[in-house]
């Protein structure tokens, strides 16, 4: 089984979903210096406008966050974007949306080609987002948490004027805690529900997910964004799961206590972000639905893609200004 990032997944004996989090640990850093934190393995590549291509499918929440951060920071002219189609097979993501089924810059039909060019015989999952060097066509990294982190910290000289401070220094310690809980209990929590291999594992995952969604609903009752009055990386990470919740996770992954639209603070918050440039314009509900309902044949063997919900509700007034 694989999730929408293309990752091979594992299950513990009790039927609990466990995400494979082993990635190519290379990073792109200013002057290719080794920071004092982060992965100790892997190579460091230099920040260089025009050298790299972000390959990220809008269907995938992990990739979608990289697309959103790239746009928020104004990196469109220095890091190009390739967008695979919404579905993939066991081998790789494919460039179904491009003319001739090939990425127009890399000239490849499958993202797997960039992985194999760097690592012949590569046996792990072919995941998005991935950063590829345009000149060589080789994979640089697929370590998605560090991709967006480094877009902010390492590419700062190339940010647009007025770009948001996605990692405010005085909030970073609390923000790390919030993002960790969002990742384990929400971003990954919906997958623990959807891919649970036993009733007990599912019910435990369901309880953890909803405990944290209740916490988030309460947290957002008296603040506009997760960390206060300004958008941060934490909001990007939560948004991509919320955007998929009613369309996919509520039914497809059995996260069906209530819908997002029935949680007033989370729903207003999600619409507020959706209507912010960089978020909604990079959210494609049709691609999202096509991915989950067509790729997860073990969960949805009929391959029928639901017609709803109506995306127009995302443009209604959110009342959080």
Active-site positions?
Answer: 60, 191
Nearest to 266 by CA among 223, 203, 315: 223
In angstroms, the CA 183 to CA 216 distance is 13
What sections of the chain are H helices per DSSP? 61-73, 112-118, 144-153, 172-182, 189-194, 199-219, 233-244, 250-252, 264-274, 285-295
CB within 8 Å of 175: residues ≥ 6 apart = 167, 168, 227, 232, 233, 234
Angle (nearest 5°) at CA 171 between 166 and 177: 95
Pairing of strands 17-18, 10-11: antiparallel
* 93 among annotated binding-site residues: yes
Question: Which are the contacts of 177, defined by CB distance < 8 A and separation ≥ 6?
Answer: none
Annotated binding site: 93
């Amino acid at each position: 089984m694989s999730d929408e990032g293309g990752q091979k997944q594992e299950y513990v004996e009790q039927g609990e979903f466990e995400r494979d989090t082993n990635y190519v640990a290379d990073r792109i850093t200013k002057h290719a210096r080794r920071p004092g934190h982060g992965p100790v393995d892997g190579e460091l590549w230099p920040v260089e406008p025009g050298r790299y291509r972000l390959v990220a499918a809008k269907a995938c929440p992990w990739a979608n966050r990289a697309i959103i951060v790239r746009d928020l920071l104004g990196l469109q002219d220095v890091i190009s974007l390739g967008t695979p189609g919404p579905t993939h097979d066991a081998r790789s993501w494919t460039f179904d949306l491009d003319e001739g089924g090939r990425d127009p810059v890399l000239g490849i039909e499958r993202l797997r080609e960039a992985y194999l060019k760097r690592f012949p015989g590569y046996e792990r999952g072919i995941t998005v987002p991935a950063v590829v060097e345009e000149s060589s066509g080789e994979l640089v990294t697929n370590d998605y948490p560090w991709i967006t982190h480094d877009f902010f910290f390492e590419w700062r000289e190339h940010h647009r004027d007025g770009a948001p401070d996605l990692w405010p220094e005085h909030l970073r310690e609390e923000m790390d805690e919030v993002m960790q809980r969002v990742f384990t209990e929400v971003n990954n929590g919906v997958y623990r529900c959807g891919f649970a291999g036993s009733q007990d594992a599912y019910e435990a995952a369901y309880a953890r997910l909803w405990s944290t969604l209740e916490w988030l609903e309460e947290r957002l009752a008296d603040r506009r964004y997760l960390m206060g009055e300004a958008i941060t990386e934490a909001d990007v990470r939560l948004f991509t799961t919320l955007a998929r919740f009613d369309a996919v996770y509520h039914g497809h992954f059995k996260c069906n206590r209530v819908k997002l639209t029935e949680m007033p603070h989370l729903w207003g918050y999600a619409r507020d972000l959706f209507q912010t440039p960089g978020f909604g314009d990079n959210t494609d509900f049709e691609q999202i639905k096509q991915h989950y309902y067509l790729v997860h044949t073990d969960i949805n063997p009929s391959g029928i893609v639901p017609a709803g919900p109506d995306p127009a509700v995302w443009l209604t007034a959110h009342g959080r200004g």
